[in-house]
Amino acid sequence: MQNFMETTLNYIEENLKAEITPDELAEMASYSTGHFCRLFANAMGSTVASYITKRRLDHALAQISSGRKAIGVVLEYGFDTYAGFYKAFVKMYGCSPKKYLSIYKKSEVIMLSEKQLQTILANWDIPQGLKIEDVSTKHWETGQIHWQMWKIGDDLFLKTNERSIMVRNIRIAKAIAKEGLASEFLPIPTKEGNDFVDGENIFLLTKKVGEPVIDRPLSTEVLAAMEFNDSRIKYAFKLGQAIAKLHRAMLTVQDDVQPWEGNLYQQGKDAIPAIQQQLTGIPAEFFADYENFEPLHDKLPKQLIHGNLCGDTAVYENGTIVGFKGYETYNISFPRIYDITWGAGEINTRPTMEEYFHTLSQMLKGYDSVSPLTPEEKQSVYYVICATYLKGHSYHAEMAGAEDLVERGDSALAFLAENKEMFQKLV
């Protein structure tokens, strides 16, 4: 873990009884607040506020269980009443403090034999003796185990993780299901009708969700299987419709999952000084014009979004976009059209800006047909694209081996600077 993150976590642990703000932590790390919050979320899989709340809950519960009077403890950790502490605990962990203490211990990576896994699987009404394969995933930045997961047979997956993470993702999965979309975290009920097996560790059983829309690059075979007549345009329209449904679902749960409120305009602005030094060919007028985004940004609908829509996170079955994967990696409240502008650049391996333009146009139209875009969103599309590439340049510049991504972003910014009018006519 990066040194600044270790320092941050130690500071949080030592000051849980005091007020801690993202601004304060960012200043200690010598980053802007927005950039610090992104780094923190990527490293910890949680917003700053949610992480602090969780650590306060954990410390308070530990002291209460040791015999201290509950009301005194919860007041020390910033909760106004025990009822407030109780409500926050249930929201975070999906059970009461008493139940948590009686059956659950915080789990690290666990080692299980096939016999032990078969015993766990007996809690579900599925054939016994299915082949078991460890397919655990690692966080792409930290390299730490992200989800412990076993493939069961051909299309089932047994998963375990920290309770708060599982509760969050099950909430989102159920909301997405109400919109008719599939999710890799929608639980298969146990024989007793529960979402997961609840013990010293908790286990969730889910079903495989479709096939990735893009196998990078988008192949004729995939398009033909989707019955789209080799048309990226028709695919993009359907994807826009699906994203609108995804957003509608996420809006219903965002208060429970406490997303970090990012500022897209500021993230783009923060990247400009370094880009101006590196890309001398882009006219100063382009960067000056970006300031017109600020008043529009303040009026954009913002909510919990997916955050990383790309070809392998959208999935299809029988020619239809059926759902999304990967939303568990991000927890951010952003302008909702960000998912569209980002996704349009990811459905091909290396799209030209002309291809990007046509794809984005159809995605916006598809989205608008399900969830109408506001006048401010339509006016802001160009600036959201600019912000997306500006902040992307800043992010990729810090990644080892990402030179091709930086070069791609440079070309995109140059194209945007020369073709503002073209993009303003998208919607």
pLDDT value of residue 380: 95
Please report the pLDDT score of residue 214 as a whole number: 56
pLDDT computed for residue 270 by the predictor: 87
Block residue for tokens 């919109």? 179
CA distance 169 to 74: 27
Both tokens assigned to 285: 């007028």
What local confidence, expressed as pLDDT, does residue 106 receive? 52
CA proximity to 37, closest of 2, 59, 5, 10: 5
pLDDT value at residue 227: 44
The answer to whether the CB of 57 falls within 8 A of the CB of 88 is yes
| Pairwise CA distance, residues 374 & 299, whole Å | 9
pLDDT tens by residue, 268-284: 998 888 888 877 788 99
State pTM to two decimals: 0.77
Helical ranges in 290-374 per DSSP H: 293-297, 338-344, 353-370
* DSSP codes, 38-51: HHHHHHHSS-HHHH
Burial annotation 381-399 (CB, 10 A radius, 16+ → b, else e): bbbbbbbbbbbbbbbbbee
Q: Are 350 and 408 in contact (CB under 8 A)?
A: yes
What is the model's pLDDT at position 355? 74
- The angle at the Cα of 223, spanning 220 to 225, to the nearest 5 degrees, equals 105
Q: Give residue-wise pLDDT tens across range 99-140.
A: 887 766 555 566 788 888 999 999 999 998 899 998 887 655
Give the contacts of 39 (CB within 8 A, at least 6 positions apart). 2, 5, 31
Q: Which tokens in the block code for residue 290?
A: 């970006």
**Residue 164's pLDDT is what?**
83
With a cut of 70, list the residues of the chain below it in pLDDT.
1-2, 103-110, 138-145, 212-234, 311, 319, 328-330, 346-351, 394-406
| Distance in angstroms (rounded) separating the CA atoms of residues 326 and 31 | 27
Confidence (pLDDT) at 229: 39
348 vs 388: CA distance, rounded Å: 17
Residue 411 CB-density burial (10 A; 0-12 exposed, 13-18 middle, 19+ buried): middle
pLDDT of residue 230: 41
Tokens 């909510």 belong to residue: 303
H/E element, 59: helix 48-65
Q: In what order do the strands lie in the sheet with 260-261?
A: 260-261, 332-335, 302-304
φ and ψ of 46, to 5 deg? -155, 150
Long-range contacts of 98-106 (CB under 8 A, 24+ apart): 100/61, 100/163, 101/61, 101/65, 103/198, 103/199, 103/200, 104/163, 104/198, 104/199, 104/200, 104/201, 104/202, 105/200, 105/201, 106/162
pLDDT attached to residue 154: 92
- Strand 145-152, strand 132-134: pairing: antiparallel
Strand partners, 35: none
Q: Which domains does the chain carry? A: 3-103 (1.10.10.60), 114-209 (3.30.200.20), 220-424 (3.90.1200.10)
